[in-house]
A = this chain, B = another copy of it.
Amino acid sequence: MKIIHSPTDVVPAVLTESPGTKSHRAYTQIRADILSCHHLPGTKLNIAGLAADLDVSLGAVREALSMLQSEALVVSEPQRGYTVSPVSPKELADITEARIAIEALCLRTSIERGDLAWESRLVASWHKLSRLSQTDAGKDQHLSETWSRAHADFHAELVGACGNDWLLRMRAMLYEQSERYRRMSVSMPQQTGTRDVPAEHKAIFDAVMERDVERAVAALETHLRKTATIVRSSVAL
């Protein structure tokens, strides 16, 4: 009789795309569960429970949580374990303001320094984003996963020529936090009425392609602020 291997054995490395270590697999898994709000903000994370779920040891989970702490997705109190980072209107406001400032900074230098190769990459990701629908055909509850990916790529590409690794790292962190808030907010029926997201993206894109820094920064700020407003009113904080 043929023996069925456990899932971890048969899943090829390329699919998980995580470095072989179990800590990293646990990290990836827990991270996804937090971002998808499977673990709700503010809830306590039971180390033993997670270890059982993920079929790894306590130490591995502990290390994974350490990694997540560096992304501010979980917080720890000594001797009292880990909890999913709580959310609050104040936090959302802070993140939004910080993000606007830093994205603007990155965008400025990116436009100034960006060469033809960057422009080409930007055109590519813009094209992809503009041809995708925000929602999947099947269920209009949540945003399409492909669209989210394309959206992230487009925003990353905008600042791709910035060159300052530290600013980019901070930008990435803030983007991720914003995403967490966005995903927490329930489906966005009110958006469609009051808002034209593709038009906002186009405004940014056009300004960037014309190398009009001020207009691009202003368009980006408008885009981010509108998103934050929607999320704030939509999510139950």
A: residues with CB less than 8 A from B are 19-21, 24, 59, 62-63, 66-67, 69-71, 78-79, 91, 94-95, 97-98, 101-102, 105, 163-167, 170, 174, 177
Contact = CB atoms under 8 A, between A and B. Distances in A.
Contacts of A21: 78-79
B167 A91 contact: no
A170 B67 CA distance: 17
A167 B24 contact: no
A78 B79 CA distance: 27
A167 B173 CA distance: 12
Contact of A94 (B70, B105, B167): B167
Contact of A98 (B59, B71, B98, B167): B167
Given A101-B101, A101-B102, A166-B174, 16 more contacts: A21-B78, A21-B79, A63-B63, A63-B66, A66-B66, A66-B67, A66-B70, A67-B70, A70-B70, A91-B165, A95-B166, A98-B167, A98-B170, A101-B105, A101-B167, A170-B170
A164 B97 contact: yes
Given A63-B63, A66-B66, A105-B101, A79 B165 contact: no
A166 B78 CA distance: 22
Contacts of A79: 19-21
A20 B165 CA distance: 35
7 contacts: A59-B62, A69-B70, A70-B70, A70-B71, A97-B167, A102-B102, A170-B170
Contacts of A177: 166
Nearest to A65: B66
A75 to B, nearest CB: 12
Nearest to A78: B19
Contacts of A166: 91, 94-95, 98, 174, 177
